[in-house]
Amino acid sequence: MSELSPVSLPVAGVRLACVAAGIRKADRPDVTLIEICEGATAAAVFTRNVFCAAPVTLCRSHLASAMPRLLVINAGNANAGTGEQGFVDARAVCREAAHRLHCATEQVLPFSTGVIGQRLPAEKIIDVLDLALGQLNQDAWDAAARGIMTTDTVPKCFSTQIVTEAATYTVTGISKGAGMIKPDMATMLAFIATDARVSDTHLQALVRDIADRTFNRITIDGDTSTNDSCVLVATGCAPGPALTPDSAQWTAFRNGVERVFAALARAIVRDGEGATKLVSVKVSGGLTEADCLRAAYAVAESPLVKTALFANDPNWGRILAAVGRSGATDLRLHEISIAVGGVPIVAQGEPVPGYDEADVASVMKGAEYEITITIGTSALEVAVLTCDFSYDYVRINAEYRS
């Protein structure tokens, strides 16, 4: 398998385009099309937010009845909290796009990201469909990554190739997200494609499993968006038979797909709104994996912990307090250990003899490090990626609609 690459590789059977529709800002690319060849399969996971956006509901419905030929993604407007009108507008975009592509309306999937509670300017999207369709190109992954951005500061696009005896498979993906990020499935969007041939049933199991261990292990601010969506497409254009979990190539293929998912998830946290630190919170020893996750997220989402990360302040009491309120089962203080960047701070519930705060403060000045926490005696272990809260996080979100 080749190394993961930030240089996008084309995926046979996928073409993309990105154009400006003026949804929020003039001359800013904000409508992205991803065309998928006939015969491809697709699977997706979506937000668990009860008040999900109209496009999320439509995507679920359309995927249940047909395999998609076109993804239509707009930035600048979430089309969430827009009532029945939101469905009317999203359907209109799907209908007009399907007419131009000569496919069924159900074969068009709409995705939106941006401000919640404002009507989607569907006519602006429809007006640029012909322009975008005319620009479809297999090499436009990087442009598409830029087109789906909102408060992101950098585009997020990664590729890899999986070399097997049967064939070489390409996997390329893009994502967006920098705030309102605690994917609970997956404001986050992710679109990943491969030229392997995989049934929709196996693809759905794959995307759910990998999303659970990548996009569902990150948090920027603990907020789950109304629009979170993660789509995995398999075009089947690579040579060789269909891949299944019983195939000799499956493990290598699955690992390659997970590498792209993990890189995209990591890039989202690294680009967190106002973030200056990327921190892995690793928790082990819980009675169940869910207990480990409860403790990890309690720490990763604590405003007091996150502001301490920004200040390079080794205030481990905030970490201990967050674990204590996490709801993890059967916590005992004498089983708690904490370390930052490999420097032991707490062992068996008490400060480590000779602990020097300056050692941890020095580690915390780095751009990336790990907080490790033991909460019991089991061999279970999970890790959650988080970032710090800086002054800029407040500024960005205070000015978001201005």
**Tell me, what amino acid is at 144?**
A
Whether 227 and 53 have beta carbons less than 8 Å apart is answered as: yes
CA gap 213, 265 in Å, rounded: 10
DSSP letters of 88-114? HHHHHHHHHHHHHHTS-GGGEEEEEEE
H or E segment to which residue 233 belongs:
strand 229-234
A 10 A CB-CB count for 244 gives 13
Torsional sign, CA 118, 119, 124, 126:
positive
Residue type, 350: E
Q: Which phi and psi (to 5°) does residue 170 adopt?
A: -105, 140
226 classed as catalytic:
no
Element (H, E) at 156: strand 156-163
Based on the number of CB atoms within 10 Å of its own CB, is 402 exposed (0-12), middle (13-18) or buried (19 or more)?
exposed
Backbone angles phi, psi at 138, to 5 degrees: -70, -15
SS (H, E, C) 278-334: EEEEEEECCCCHHHHHHHHHHHHCCHHHHHHHHHCCCCHHHHHHHHHCCCCCCCCHH
Structure tokens that stand for 284 in this block: 């082990």
Q: Which of 288, 375, 366 is nearest to 325 (CA)?
A: 375
Find the catalytic residue in 160, 172, 187, 224: 187
Catalytic residue ranges = 187
